[in-house]
Amino acid sequence: MAALPNASHSITLRLHLEVADLGAVGRVTTAIGEHGGAVVAVEAVETSGDRQMVDVTANGRDDEHTTRLQEAVDALEGVHLDRVSDRTFELHREGKLAVTPTVPLRTRDDLSMAYTPGVARVCRTIADHPDQARALTIKGNTVAIVSDGSAVLGLGGIGPVAALPVMEGKAALFKRFAGIDAWPVCIEATTVDDIVRVVEAIAPTYGGINLEDISAPRCFEVERRLKESLDIPVFHDDQHGTAIVVLAALLNALRLVDKPIGEVTVAMSGAGAAGVAVAQLLLHEGVHDIVVADSRGILGPGRDGLEGGKAWLAEEANPSGRDGTLKDALVGADVFIGVSAPGLLEPEDLATMAEDAVVFPLANPDPEVDPIGAGRYAAVVATGRSDYPNQINNVLAFPGVFRGALDAGARGITREMEVAAAHALAEVISPEELSPTAIIPGAFDERVAPAVAEAVRAVAAADAAR
């Protein structure tokens, strides 16, 4: 599957051209197109004497490809390449977040209210009534995005500093989609004990903890212990954010193929953080038969020495005790969900699935099976990519989940809240909109976060009233 030129590999070429050479811009954009690049912008910057400066922005497929585009332009007659800037790097320069005061600081009176001596009265009130912190500080609207940088995107254990651009981006999404003030907490901590202790220590400032890109199996234990010790919501997005969106997409897909969720059989590839959470949520929702394979095959009675989440999947999710390979798991399955690695399957491998199969190969950026090819064997296909229909994107869940939990002052995020979030997300798609290429809303659908938030808030309120 050849990648298409995309904005994540985009360069801006600053060119010097002769003013009289009216064909120069045409030669440049033609050369880019001939070399497989996509021209996305041309802008005349300034003219001085007989020379003009022009910025040409083009998308490529990868770093090597954008280098070739640049060389092709540089080789053109009458075109002087002054400099090349990478749009993604330009965007990230100096980071992607600002911390801004929301109070005026213009006069001495302002200072005396926002800071000393006036602030002392606010502090004393919180010391006497700690529950007032949510009303009188940032705590009520603030989420920590905690990562040790041990499992970042497809990059693995790149460490806390290198993970910072991801956590900044996530914080930006929290604000953009739910008005939440989120802050990156990239920590130098390796053991479960260390991570738990650091998160417990920094928790006072926050109304919620979003765990992010922490490797399995440590992530399970970290989350379990923090949920136990903290009185604010703790949510490992790689697990539960993914599970919520997958369940929402599955609910709508099964509506299309008219199969009740309690009767489908599911084959899964991947038993990491996302795999375990997806399986748990599906079981909770009434799916009975989920066969999960990791890189060594099906998690079943034939596998020795399984621990933690994998042992649990072998025992609880696989009721008929199946063994074998991922391909064995596919035979007769109604649903395939991949949260594992690129290119594990050929489209033809899906031919053994049940009629009207639902196929979600979610490995990103390269799915477990080519989604276009998969479409020949499946009634509905969804991926993690933004350039195909039905993108399973966590941004559909975490902003609304935390918005609802913060608004309700919830002390935790329960399985019931996750289920409610998934149903609310699925129901954003109206019966009229529902189709095989529209089982889940797009990332910018403004209906999503409020709907998810309201669902989570309602469950929290019911819990509190109980």
Residues in region 86-125 near its own copies by CB under 8 A: 87-89, 91-103, 105-125
Site for its own copies in 265-324 (CB under 8 A): none
What are 19's two structure tokens? 């003013």
The region of 16-24, 189-197, 283-291, 433-441 touching its own copies under the rule CB under 8 A is 189-197
CA 184 to chain centre: 15
Is 260 a binder of its own copies (CB under 8 A)?
no
Q: Are 292 and 318 in contact (CB under 8 A)?
A: yes
Nearer to its own copies, 53 or 138 (CB): 138
Nearer to its own copies, 154 or 332 (CB): 154
Is 414 a binder of its own copies (CB under 8 A)?
no
Residue corresponding to tokens 């005790």: 321
d(CA 54, CA 78): 13
Residue corresponding to tokens 């890109």: 213
Nearer to its own copies, 186 or 410 (CB): 186
The answer to whether 206 is a known catalytic residue is no
Measure the N-to-C terminal CA separation of the chain; round to a whole number of Å.
53
Contacts 24+ apart (CB under 8 A), 181-185: 181/138, 181/141, 181/142, 181/143, 182/142, 182/143, 182/144, 182/145, 182/210, 183/97, 183/142, 183/143, 183/144, 183/145, 184/97, 184/145, 184/147, 185/144, 185/145, 185/146, 185/147
The region of 140-148, 271-279, 301-309, 400-408 touching its own copies under the rule CB under 8 A is 140-148
The answer to whether 115 is a known catalytic residue is yes
Would you give the binding string for its own copies spanning residues 6-45, x where CB under 8 A is met? xxxxx-----------------------------------
Query: Least distance (Å) from its own copies to the CB of residue 386?
Result: 5
Q: Is 308 left (phi over 0), alpha (psi -120 to 50) or beta?
A: left
What stretches of 285-411 show up as alpha helix (H) in DSSP?
308-312, 326-330, 371-374, 398-408
Query: Least distance (Å) from its own copies to the CB of residue 128?
Result: 8
Is 139 a binder of its own copies (CB under 8 A)?
yes
Number of residues that bind its own copies (CB under 8 A): 100
Is 200 a binder of its own copies (CB under 8 A)?
yes
Is 173 a binder of its own copies (CB under 8 A)?
yes
Nearer to its own copies, 110 or 228 (CB): 110
Query: Which residue in 23, 26, 33, 154 binds its own copies (CB under 8 A)?
Result: 154
Nearer to its own copies, 50 or 109 (CB): 109
Site for its own copies in 58-77 (CB under 8 A): 63
Which segments within 128-223 are labelled E, that is strand? 142-147, 181-186, 208-211
The burial of 305, by beta-carbon neighbours within 10 Å (0-12 exposed, 13-18 middle, 19 or more buried), is given as exposed
Query: Least distance (Å) from its own copies to the CB of residue 443?
Result: 6
Is 49 a binder of its own copies (CB under 8 A)?
no
Q: Are 226 and 220 in contact (CB under 8 A)?
A: no
d(CA 237, CA 171): 13
Is 203 a binder of its own copies (CB under 8 A)?
yes
User: 3-class SS at 391?
Assistant: strand
Is 343 a binder of its own copies (CB under 8 A)?
no
Query: Which residue in 1, 19, 41, 161 binds its own copies (CB under 8 A)?
Result: 161
- Catalytic residue from among 139, 170, 227, 259: 170
Is 405 a binder of its own copies (CB under 8 A)?
no
Task: Please list the active-site residues.
Answer: 115, 170
